[in-house]
Amino acid sequence: MTDSGKKTVVRETFEVTTDDGVKISGSEKCVEGMDIKGTVLLLHPMNALGHIYWDIPLEGYNFMEYLAGHGFRAIGMDFRGYGDSEKPEWVTWEGCSKDVAAVVTHIKNKYGISKVHVVATSFGATSVAYFLGKNQDSIDRLVLSGYMYKQMPGGPIAERMKELIDKGKRYVHEKPSLEPGPELYDAEPELMKVWSGLIKEKNPTRPITHFLDPEGREKAASHISLTKVPTLFIRGDHDLNKQDDNLNCFRDCRSQEKAFMEVGNIGHSLWRDRMHRVVYRAVLGWLSD
């Protein structure tokens, strides 16, 4: 605690190497001197800023600090091709699963624990679903949000990505915008200002080659029916993903302890939408059980 009585959040960075030789970066946050209830690994969606998605420098929108303030050690990682991690020419779902494995091993070894909680959204949810195939014993409690289960990505954007790949392009630049876009339903202007500013400052790129890996996505989906980890599924009622696909995923999960939550007035990027605090509180309760 500081002299003013405020909690001091400590931040550390790390780098690990996957078993196929890719360097993965990340950071962790916890409150100095507070007893740790558990360790939570956060897996970001398909945005070029990587784990900053969970660590937005705006009051009320920093989920890493929210978790830290409630007694958890929050760890964010950048998948290969994202943020500060190494950027190989090809990014596949199997490769992203290896990223999760390397970071989970690092966490377990560093803190002498056997399991971690995982909170994953969209791209990150598919990656951890792939990881679940042989690694359920490493996960304590799981949260999947905005997960595209058996619904395959399509439409003009997917077609455009395939065209770019055919032309030899493997990465695209993230574009700053003050408009919410299709993934956000009701975003606060200040959030959009900060988010756009981060993109302008960092000028980040993100990989697109996973669009040519439908087999990897299907393999990830096949692991849901084998999952016995306690799992909370969350979607926004204005999600781009189909409700039926999300419900089928919930029904196919074999966990004895599972729950499905649909949050009103919120979109696909539910951790940044105006009603995100509903999601924060639900996840905190799930992890605190």
**pLDDT for position 157:** 77
Is 91 in a helix, a strand, or coil? Answer: coil
pLDDT for 90-136, tens place per residue? 999 999 999 999 999 999 999 999 999 999 999 999 999 999 999 99
Sign of the C-alpha dihedral computed for residues 66, 131, 51 and 271 taken in this order? negative
Is 0.85 topped by the overall pTM? yes
> From CA 109, how far away is CA 120, in angstroms rounded?
22
Residue 4 has pLDDT above 50, yes or no: no
C-alpha pair distances (Å), 143 with each of 33, 159, 177, 239 = 27, 30, 29, 16
**pLDDT for position 2:** 38
Provide the 8-state DSSP code for 79. P
240 sits in the region (left: phi over 0; alpha: psi -120 to 50; else beta) called alpha
C-alpha pair distances (Å), 7 with each of 62, 67, 240 = 15, 13, 37
What domains, with CATH codes, occur in the chain?
9-288 (3.40.50.1820)
pLDDT band, very low/low/confident/very high, at 154 (cuts 50, 70, 90): low
> From CA 37, how far away is CA 205, in angstroms rounded?
35
Percentage of the chain beyond pLDDT 70 is 98
